[in-house]
Amino acid sequence: MPANTAPIFTRLGAIGMGCVLTTAANDYAGNTIHTKEVFGGDDTNGAFIERLRFKAKGTNTASVARIYLNSGGINTTFANTPTSSAPSTATSGGTILAGTYYCKVVAIGPNGSRSALSGEQSQATTGSASTITWNWGTVQGAVSFEVYVSDTTAVYTRFFVVASGAAITYVQTAMWQTGSYKDQNVGNMQFYGEISLPGTTATIIAATPDIDYFMNIALAPGTEVYAGLGTSVAGGWAVCAIGGLY
């Protein structure tokens, strides 16, 4: 086997900016202000992260820490999520078959961050040449939208991309339009893993536990690592990231 002709080495040790987690983020998307950045890689060469260390700052109930990888964009907290509005249909101009269709909408921020899903809309069609017009309310800070459509309620695996953040309507003409949909599991925040955090009691004669979450992965340029709690705790957990810059 030939040797690696372009090995990578860390040029500088790096300790994350550190943060204290106290308030529950309580999600699996990393989209709230309580999911905080704990490590950032070099914007040009990337970085290596060895581990995250969680240290209890006093008395806490048991919780869980969820860890995310972020492509480097802003973790936007939207002022509101898309609000469902009544859809409409036409019996000509498209190729949608007769049936009942369902829709939810996600707002996308300037760097790929995502809002929560809107409420579900539904629309019945007739004939075999129908179109559906889906509508939603304005979302401050959105640069585009993903319009999830399905023929089964509460099951969404594909979406149409609406390229303008100012748009509040989408005319669907086909199920599915070739090239206009993607897999659902895309976005700025990638749920990487989680670790259980025990209940702790602060004393003056005994240390609280040191909890290490080992990662040992290379990060692409600009990638950041975030962490958030499943439940709120009293004392908080200090998070320290240990790695290196390439």
pLDDT at residue number 2: 57
**Peptide bond preceding 237 in cis form (omega within 30 of 0):** no
Q: Give the model confidence (pLDDT) of 192-235 as tens digits.
A: 999 999 999 998 898 988 999 999 999 988 788 999 999 999 99
Quote the CA–CA distance of 76 and 33 in Å, as a whole number: 8
All domains in the chain, ordered by first residue: 12-75+188-245 (2.60.120.1110), 84-183 (no CATH)
Entry pTM = 0.57
pLDDT at residue number 60: 97
Q: Give the model confidence (pLDDT) of 180-204 as tens digits.
A: 433 333 346 788 999 999 999 998 8
pLDDT at residue number 77: 64
Quote the CA–CA distance of 226 and 69 in Å, as a whole number: 6
* Dihedral angle sign, alpha carbons of residues 107, 112, 115, 120: positive
Quote the CA–CA distance of 178 and 174 in Å, as a whole number: 9
Q: Give the model confidence (pLDDT) of 50-63 as tens digits.
A: 999 999 999 999 99
